[in-house]
C-alpha cells in the first residue's frame, strides 16, 4: 500500500516550550521597537493578566508551556498532523513538495484555540473570573471554547454585521455560554458615541477591541483578551510551527518556503529562528494580505494604537490608521488596520515577502484545494493557498523541487456566505 | 502529564477487511429475509454496480477492502481516533467509561464517506462514468467528495426544502462539481407527477431516492448510489467498528453498551458478531430514533419498497409505509420510512433495544457534549448522545462501571438551522 503521507507527532512528544522570537529579533540588526505611552502601558495591568504582560516582554527564547495548557490542547486534538498534499501536486504537475499543517480539526481554528486556551489559563490563574474578547468570529468561537473548558465567564464583542453574516459562530459561542454583543454596542461609552455618530454602523475589529478593553477595564475581575497583534499571541501560536519543525525532522526534510496569512504568522517563527541564526539562510517567508486591506504595502510603518478609541498604548507596526474602515471582505479576521509589530519588523528587515490578492482568485484557488485535498479552508487561509499554488506553478516553470509549507488554519464550514455570493448568487460584492 | 485518552490506530494497521454480518445473521435462529420481486431485482443490474450487487449477497464473513479504497480513506483522515470522554464523565459524576469514535473530522461525515468512497470505487471500476445519488444533505456531500476524488461525474437529488435549509451542504457539493437537484424535480417522470399532484412539496428521502433510481436507469453509464438501507452500505460502514474493536484491544477494554442512531448501525456490527458468536453474550446494543419517525416502534415489520415510486424491489424491514411523509425534523437523514433490513432483523431478534427521543432533549444533551468535549455533533448523533447520557446516569444510580461506546458520526457545522430555531429564535417548530 502506498504511503499515507500524514506525519503524526505522538502526544508524548507534545512540545514543552513555545519559541519566543523577541530576543532573537536583534539578529536582524535592530531590536524590536518597544510600545510607548507609559500611562496607557500602566493601565494595562488593570485589564490584562499579569502573566501575559510578563510574557509580552519576556527575554527567554524558550518559554515553558504549563502542563495544564498542554493537557487541554491535547484534549482538543493537538498535536495536529503535517500532511503531504500529493493530490494537489499531481494536479498541478509541479515538482514542488507541498506540506500543510492540519489546524482545521476543531470547530473553531486550532491556531486561535492555541492562544485562547493559554490566555484563559493565565487569566484564571491570575485571579480573574471573566475573560472579555473583541474581534472576529473565529477568535470569538475559540475564546468561548477556552473559557468553557478552563471555567471562566466570557463576553465577546464582534462587529455588528457579523451577528448575521457569521451567525453559526455566534450560535456556537452561545452554546458555550458566552455572551455575544455586536459592536458598536450600548455596553460601552465608546460604543454609544460611535452609534450616535452613525459612523462604522457595521462595526470593525479595532472598534470591537476598544469596546472589549473598556468593558474589561470597568468590570472588576474581568480580563481583556485579544487573538492578534501582541507578542504573547504570536508566542503561543509558534506551537504549530515547533511541532511542524519536529515533523519535518521525522521525514528528514526542511521547507524552502513558509507561507502564512497576516493573522497567523506565529507558525513561521520557529523557521525564521533558523534563518536568523544563519542555519537556514535560503528559506523564504511569504505573508498574504487582502488588496482591500493592504496594510503591509500601503500602510505607514509608525506608532499607532491597537484599537480605534486609543485605549491601548502605542505600538510600532504597519498601519492604515486606527480609524480606517475596512470594506466587508469575507476574511473577517483580516479586517484590521495593523499587523503584529513582530511581523512588521520582519517585513521591514526584508525577511518576509508580501503577496496581495483579491477575493475571487482566492476562492478559486481554495476550491481546487477542496477538491484535491478535501478541506474547505478558512477565508484567511484561502489567501495562503493562492500563494502556495502560485509558488508551486513557478517551481514547475523553474524545474525546482521546492518544499513549501503552510498552516491550514481553520475551515469555512461555519461561514458559507462567501461561497453563497460566488457560487449560488454568481456575484461577489468585492471581487 | 496526565494521559491524553486518545487511542490512535496507526495507518499501517488500517483494516484489510470489512465485516459482513449477513452469513452470521443465521446465528440469531433465522436467516436474513431475501428481497423479493425478481423483475425489479433483475433491473437493478442496469443501475447498480455489479460489484455492489455481489457484495449485497456475499457469503464471506470477511470482505477484502481494495487497496485503492484504503488509500483514499487514509487520505481523507482514517483511521480516526477513539477518544475517552473524561470531561463528560466527571461532569456527570458517573462511574461509566464513555468512549467515542471521532468520525466527524472531515467536512461531511466520515461514516458516510466510508461507503461513498467504496461505492465510487466499484462504480468506476465496473465501467460507469457517473454516480447518481438521492437522499440527505450529508450523504450528498460525502458522495460529492468521493466522486471528485475517484474521478466520476455526480448528480445528487435531495428533498426540495434542503436546498435552502441545508444550503452550505449544497454549496460544498457544487464546489465538488456535483449537480444538485431538489426533489420533486422536473428531471424525472416520478418528480413531474408528484409536482403536479402538489403532494410532498418539500420533498422527502424516499421520493429523492425514486428520482435518483429513475435517472440512473435512464442515463447510460450512470450508476445509482444510496447511503442507507442496503447490506453493502452497512458492510462498508463496519470499518469504524472494526477499527474501534482493535482500539479497545490496545487499551485492554471491551464495551458493555454500544449505541448508534438508526442510520449508522454499521459501527455496532463487529461487536454484534462477538455477541452472536457467544463470546460476549452480555453486550447491550441500543439504537436511537426520532419520535416523529418512530419506524422501529410504530412501523410494521413487513415487505416494502425502499423508494416512494416502487422502482426498487421489496425488502423486509420495519416501515411506516413508503408514502409516509415525515415532518421536518432537523435530523434529515432520519426522515425515511424504513430502516436497514439487517437492523430490523436484529431488533426483531431482541439483540438491539430501541430508544425514542424528541428534538429539544437531544439538542440539550448535545450542548453539554459540545461544552465538555468540544464537538458539535450531527443532528443524528445528538439522539445517541442523549441515550449515552441517560445510560451514564443510570450507571451512576446503579454504581456500575459500565463501558459505553458510540460513533461520533459527523458534525452540524454546515447545518446550524436547528440551533438557530432553538437558541436564537427561542422556539423549535417540533419539540
Condensed to tens digits (0 to 9), the pLDDT of residues B359-371 reads 999 999 999 999 9
**B424 contacts on A by Cβ (under 8 Å):** 167, 170-171, 174
Of B12, B175, B374, the CB nearest to A106: B374
Give me the interface pTM, i.e. the ipTM: 0.85
Strand partners, A18: A63
Report the alpha-carbon distance of residue A203 to residue A201 in Å, rounded. 5
Among A2, A3, A4, A76, the strongest candidate for a mutation testing the B interface, having the largest count of B CBs within 10 A, is A4
Binary contact (A423, B172; C-beta < 8 A): no
Chain A: closest CA distance from residue B119 (Å): 18
Query: How many contacts (CB atoms, under 8 Å) link A and B?
Result: 118
> What is the CB neighbour count within 10 angstroms for residue B396?
16
- CA A293/CA A285 separation, integer angstroms: 20
Report pLDDT for A420: 82
Q: Chain B closest CA to A136's CA: distance in Å?
A: 18
Are B85 and B92 in contact, with CB atoms under 8 Å apart? Answer: no
Whether a cis peptide bond, with omega within 30° of 0, leads into B238 is no
Nearest chain B Cα distance for residue A419, angstroms? 7
Question: Do A375 and B107 count as a contact with CB atoms less than 8 A apart?
Answer: yes
Q: Which domains does chain A have, with CATH numbers?
A: 6-14+77-108+238-424 (3.40.50.1100), 19-67+110-232 (3.40.50.1100)
Nearest to B423 among A76, A86, A174 (CB): A174
Interchain proximity B175–A423, CB inside 8 Å: yes
* Shortest Cα–Cα distance, B249 to chain A (Å): 19
- From chain B, the residues in CB contact with A11 under 8 A are 4, 6
Residues of B within 8 A of A107 (CB-CB) are: 374-376, 411, 413
CA neighbours within 13 Å on the CB side: how many for B22?
22
What pLDDT shows up at residue B126?
97
Of B2, B170, B413, the CB nearest to A413: B413
Q: How far is A1 from chain B (nearest CA, A)?
A: 6
Neighbours of B356 (CB within 10 A): 18
Q: DSSP readout, B391-404?
A: HHHHHHHHT---EE
pLDDT of A1 above 80: no
Q: What is the Cα–Cα distance from B183 to B161, expressed in whole angstroms?
A: 8
Identify all chain B residues contacting A146, using CB atoms and an 8 Å cutoff: none
CA distance A139 to B64: 45
The tens-digit pLDDT sequence of chain B (431 residues) is: 444 588 989 888 999 999 999 999 999 999 999 999 999 999 999 999 999 999 999 999 999 999 999 999 988 889 999 999 999 999 999 999 999 999 998 888 889 999 999 999 999 999 999 999 999 999 999 999 999 999 999 999 999 999 988 999 999 999 999 999 999 999 999 999 999 999 899 999 999 999 999 999 999 999 999 899 999 999 999 999 999 999 999 999 999 999 999 999 999 999 999 999 999 999 999 999 999 999 999 999 999 999 999 999 999 999 999 999 999 999 999 999 999 999 999 999 999 999 999 999 999 999 999 999 888 899 999 999 999 999 999 999 999 999 999 999 988 888 888 888 888 888 888 88
User: What is the least distance, in Å, from the CA of A300 to any CA of chain B?
Assistant: 38
CB contact under 8 A, B420 and A172: no
Amino acid at each position: 500500500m502506498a504511503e499515507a503521507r500524514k506525519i503524526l507527532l505522538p502526544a508524548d512528544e507534545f512540545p514543552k516550550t513555545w519559541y519566543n522570537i523577541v530576543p532573537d529579533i536583534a539578529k536582524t540588526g535592530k531590536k524590536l521597537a518597544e510600545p510607548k505611552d507609559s500611562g496607557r502601558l500602566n493601565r494595562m495591568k488593570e485589564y490584562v493578566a499579569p502573566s501575559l504582560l510578563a510574557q509580552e516582554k519576556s527575554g527567554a527564547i524558550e518559554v515553558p508551556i504549563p502542563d495544564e495548557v498542554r493537557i487541554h490542547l491535547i484534549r482538543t486534538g493537538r498535536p495536529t498532523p503535517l500532511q503531504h498534499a500529493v493530490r494537489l501536486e499531481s494536479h498541478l504537475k509541479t515538482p514542488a513538495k507541498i506540506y500543510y499543517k492540519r489546524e482545521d480539526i476543531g470547530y473553531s481554528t486550532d491556531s486561535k484555540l492555541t492562544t485562547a486556551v493559554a490566555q484563559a489559563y493565565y487569566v484564571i490563574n491570575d485571579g480573574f473570573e471573566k475573560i472579555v474578547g473583541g474581534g472576529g468570529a473565529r477568535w470569538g468561537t475559540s475564546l468561548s471554547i477556552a473559557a468553557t473548558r478552563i471555567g471562566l465567564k466570557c463576553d465577546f464583542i464582534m462587529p455588528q454585521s457579523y451577528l448575521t453574516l457569521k451567525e453559526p459562530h455566534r450560535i456556537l459561542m452561545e452554546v458555550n455560554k458566552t455572551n455575544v454583543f455586536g459592536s458598536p454596542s450600548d455596553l460601552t461609552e465608546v460604543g454609544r458615541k460611535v452609534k450616535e455618530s452613525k459612523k462604522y454602523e457595521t462595526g470593525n475589529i479595532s472598534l470591537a477591541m476598544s469596546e472589549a478593553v473598556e468593558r474589561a477595564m470597568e468590570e472588576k475581575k474581568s480580563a481583556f483578551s485579544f487573538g492578534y497583534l501582541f507578542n504573547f499571541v504570536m508566542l503561543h501560536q509558534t506551537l504549530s510551527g515547533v511541532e511542524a519543525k519536529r515533523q519535518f525532522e521525522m521525514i528528514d526534510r526542511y521547507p524552502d518556503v513558509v507561507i502564512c496569512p497576516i493573522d497567523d504568522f506565529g507558525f513561521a517563527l520557529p523557521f525564521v529562528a533558523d534563518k536568523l541564526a544563519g542555519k537556514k539562510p535560503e528559506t523564504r517567508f511569504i505573508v498574504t494580505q487582502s488588496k482591500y486591506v493592504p496594510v503591509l504595502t500601503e500602510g505607514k510603518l509608525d506608532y499607532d494604537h491597537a484599537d480605534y478609541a486609543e485605549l491601548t498604548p502605542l505600538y510600532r507596526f504597519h498601519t492604515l490608521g486606527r480609524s480606517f474602515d475596512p470594506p466587508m471582505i469575507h476574511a473577517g479576521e483580516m479586517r484590521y488596520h495593523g499587523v503584529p509589530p513582530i511581523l512588521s519588523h520582519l517585513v521591514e528587515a526584508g525577511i518576509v515577502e508580501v503577496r496581495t490578492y483579491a477575493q475571487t482568485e482566492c476562492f478559486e484557488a481554495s476550491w481546487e484545494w477542496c477538491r484535491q485535498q478535501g478541506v474547505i479552508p478558512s477565508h484567511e487561509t484561502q489567501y495562503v493557498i493562492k500563494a502556495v499554488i502560485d509558488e508551486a506553478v513557478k517551481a514547475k516553470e523553474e524545474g525546482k523541487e521546492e518544499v513549501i509549507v503552510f498552516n491550514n488554519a481553520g475551515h469555512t464550514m461555519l461561514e458559507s456566505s462567501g461561497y453563497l455570493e460566488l457560487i449560488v448568487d454568481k456575484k461577489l460584492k468585492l471581487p
